[in-house]
Amino acid sequence: MRPSSVRHRQEVHELCAGTIRALAGQAELHFRGPELHRGHRRVPMPAPHLHPSFDGADFASFRGAADGMASRLLHTDPALHRSLCPDDTAGRLIFEILEQFRVESLAADAWSGVRANLAHRFAQWSQDYVASGLTETVHGMLLFTVTQMCRARITAEPIPEATEDLIESTRFALASVLGGHLPLLRRTRFSQNDFGGHAQAVAELIGRHLEPPTDTDGSGDDRRDGRAAFSLLFDFDPDDETFTTAVSGRSRALGECGDGYRVFTRAYDETRQIASLVRPELLQDYRRRLDLTIDTQRLDVRKLGRQLKALLSKPVPDGWDGGREEGYIDGRRLAQLVTSPTERRLFRAERTEPQTDTTVTFLIDCSGSMKEFGEPVAVLVDVFARALELADARCEILGFTTAAWNGGGARRDWLRSGRPRNPGRLNEVRQLVFKDAETSWRRARPAIAGLLKNDLFKEGVDGEAVDWACSRMRGTQGRRLLFVISDGSPLDGATALANDEFYLDHHLQVVVERHEDERAVEVYGLGVGLDLSPYYDRCRTLDLSRGTNSDVIADVLSMIAH
């Protein structure tokens, strides 16, 4: 039987981590989810092609990224690199790419497998970049052309013919801009310091062209600018904080049950609209408090909406534009060849418009320990709900908790029935709807603020909640993303005592694994001060101790971009 995609992914991560440790000579390196760590600390990898979304069918692509990480650790002096790196974002972006190409060019000739893996990974990244539509923007094409030109020069590997055709005009324009720096990049690649001087010059020259365009009409509309989306693929800064990893394990009770996960009774389970649990006057008070916090954080929702639009939309045909000097011949204008022989506007071109066909669901753990994070989480989901609506994407905000502590009516029924062994889940599940996909952000504003009501937070049965949230997206089309926001492992005291401590943990792993195999929904874990990689292969740890700021927003955006 083919192993599950999640288990296979973990095996690949372990294999690639071993390769990195061997090449770089650093014993503490390992993967947590898709990110490389040294001990408990994340190791940043700024180059975009070092962040593949793992596909079991393309092991060589992930292996190439791992070899690139090892090359970076082996050949880059971090202190020297920091001293040479430009301060501005655009210049730093280019400088980081060039340094990665330098270290990849140093792979020994005897390491033919490593060199092949590196080339394969970059080729795959290039294909993904073109497929994303970023080459249709001015900044996107500029960045793409620079990466192709510089890698070819530094590694002495030719640019593929199809790519050469795509970048031909931009490449010609850049040749005069970059002057004599390009050939010097390869000649100095064995010296990080000497190479860095020429890389700084290239970064400065290209960085000038990557500055955001002036907003002359006051609209702030940069939807055609691919730089915003592309910049999300870069991982500049290391995490300063050390986050604890969730402790999980396999359940003996779940393994012994031939029929899998059990629920003792669903008689007390319920799905509730938040408006039915909180008085309208109190919701209005919570909303005013939430609005004040959002204003204090100075979050730019419209900019976020434009970034989401760039990430989530795809061009779709929207008719034709006639009167062009190139394109497809317009049969309706052929008569002009006779009446006006010098007329050149005889062609037409297909018109496209960006269209977003995406559903994003935020599923919030409303267990007791999440009370202190209610406000920053409410800010996060509120801002994203509004921005997703501006990007023409669908959004749901859901929560999960229990209706009682210590099992409630479900546990009482179990006691009355004689305490049968391994009863399974033993509490009253309560599923919360703060905003459904059909409700606009404006109408859902008071309900979203219901996250500030502390007595909603009790215990958590995560696996069933993930299943429920995924089932709500089943009838939607396009891309479907689920973000689970949690600060801990699944916890229900009654269930743990009657089965074993890892019963709900094990079930969550099984549920996430199944949805990853089905590939209908992309499931992401957002850990609030906790690394959730034991449950979610695609996860990120959020630091909400200072509220929901621009760094937190960027963390979530980077997951969507990957």
Q: List pLDDT tens digits, range 48-104.
A: 888 766 554 467 788 888 999 999 999 999 889 989 988 877 788 889 999 999 999
Please, which residues have CB within 8 angstroms of residue 215's CB and are 6 or more apart in sequence?
221, 222
Pair of tokens at residue 1: 């039987």
Q: Please, which pLDDT band fits residue 5 given cuts at 50, 70 and 90?
A: low
Residues 6+ apart with CB under 8 A from 198: 181, 184, 185, 188
8 Å CB contact between 486 and 370: yes
Q: Helices H, strands E: what count in the chain? A: 21, 15
Average pLDDT over residues 459-466: 95
CA 212, CA 501: separation in Å to the nearest integer? 53
Phi, psi dihedral angles at 13 (to 5 degrees):
-60, -45
pLDDT on residue 217 = 42
Q: In terms of pLDDT, which residue wins out, 247 or 198? A: 198
Residue 287 host element (H or E): helix 280-297
Share the mean pLDDT of the chain. 84
The sign of the torsion formed by the CA atoms of 407, 408, 409, 414 equals positive
Give how far Cα 382 sits from Cα of 23, 358, 441, 445, 449, Å. 45, 17, 8, 8, 8
Count the neighbouring beta carbons within 10 Å of the beta carbon of residue 497: 13
Tokens linked to 377: 């989480």
| Rounded-to-5 percentages of helix, strand, coil across the chain | 50, 15, 30
pLDDT, position 3: 38
**Residue 397 pLDDT level (bands cut at 50, 70, 90):** very high
* Amino acid identity for residue 490 in this structure: P
Residue 11 has pLDDT above 60, yes or no: yes
Contact 65, 51 (CB under 8 A): yes
Question: Quick one: pLDDT at residue 250?
Answer: 83
Asked if residue 364 lies in contact with residue 377, where contact means CB atoms within 8 angstroms, the answer is yes
Please give the biggest Cα pair distance in the chain.
Answer: 97
Cite the beta strand spans of 66-222 per DSSP E: none
Instruction: Say which residue the tokens 């459904």 belong to.
Output: 436
What pLDDT sits at residue 225? Answer: 43
- 59 contacts: CB under 8 Å, gap ≥ 6: 12
Average pLDDT score over residue span 511-530 = 92
**C-beta neighbour count of 191 within 10 angstroms:** 11
What residue has token string 């040294």?
A: 38
Q: For the residues 483-505, what does the mean pLDDT come to?
A: 91
68: phi then psi, degrees, rounded to nearest 5? -65, -40
**How many other C-beta atoms can be found within 10 angstroms of the C-beta atom of residue 34?**
20
Q: For residue 294, which of 439, 449, 436 has the smallest C-alpha distance? A: 449
- In angstroms, the CA 361 to CA 561 distance is 16
Identity of the residue numbered 420: P
Looking at the DSSP assignment, which residues form a beta bridge with residue 317? 352
How does pLDDT run across 277-288, given as a tens digit for each residue?
A: 999 999 999 999
Greater pLDDT, 372 or 51: 372
What is the per-residue pLDDT for 54? 53
Pairing of strands 313-324, 347-356: antiparallel
Helix (H) or strand (E) holding 256: helix 252-256
Find out whether 426 and 494 touch, Cβ atoms under 8 Å.
yes
**Which DSSP string do the residues of 483-507 spell out, in sequence order?**
EEEESS--B-HHHHHHS-TTHHHHH
φ, ψ at 341 (rounded to 5°): -60, -25
Which residues does residue 314 pair with via DSSP β-bridges, in sequence order? Answer: 355
